[in-house]
Amino acid sequence: MRPWRRATLVASTIAAVELVVLLVGAAVVVARPLARAVERHAQKAAAPTPAHVVQKKLPVRHAPPPKPTHPRAQMKVLVLNGNGRTGVAHAEATRLEALGYRVAGAADARRHDYATSVVMYSPGYRPEGLRLGHDLHVGVVGPLDGLKPSALQGGQLAVILGAR
């Protein structure tokens, strides 16, 4: 082997070793502060929040329902049996008359698989629908859905009796 080749191999090997040493040194210099920063961040995240810093949730307040403008005696209610039990619609119609409502009719609903009772109201009669739902202890009150106002037999409200 010629002497200049040997010198070139030795010089290249030394340069490669120096490069590896520099890379390891740079990694150590950069990694220590980075590791400390990550550790501090983890400690902050794990620290419990002081009680005086914890924000309390404010209670949600809903606007009270509007007051009914029509008395019960002016409201006509269609009672529909949606649970399939015989005589339920007529019994509920009698109960409504005792509460002061006028009954537009009592019949079977198209379906008999209602799980819960529903009160529905014509446009403009939301307060009266909410009052009827309160009177009957029915939690589901909404606008007419699946019924046309003409199907109410001249009434403004409808009750579909469910299994509960």
- Region of residue 87 (phi > 0: left; psi between -120 and 50: alpha; otherwise: beta): left
Structure token digits, residue 125? 């009669």
| pTM of the predicted model as reported, rounded to 2 decimal places | 0.61
Kindly report, residue by residue over 78-88, the tens digit of the pLDDT: 999 999 899 99
Kindly report, residue by residue over 52-98, the tens digit of the pLDDT: 555 667 777 777 878 988 999 999 999 999 998 999 999 999 999 99
Are 142 and 120 in contact, with CB atoms under 8 Å apart? Answer: yes
In CATH, the architecture of 72-161 is 2-Layer Sandwich (3.30)
Give the pLDDT score at 131: 93
Q: What sign for the dihedral angle of Cα 10, 16, 20, 21?
A: positive
Q: What sign for the dihedral angle of Cα 110, 112, 115, 120?
A: positive
Give the pLDDT score at 53: 55
Mean pLDDT of all residues in 121-134 = 93
Confidence of residue 33 (pLDDT cuts 50, 70, 90): confident
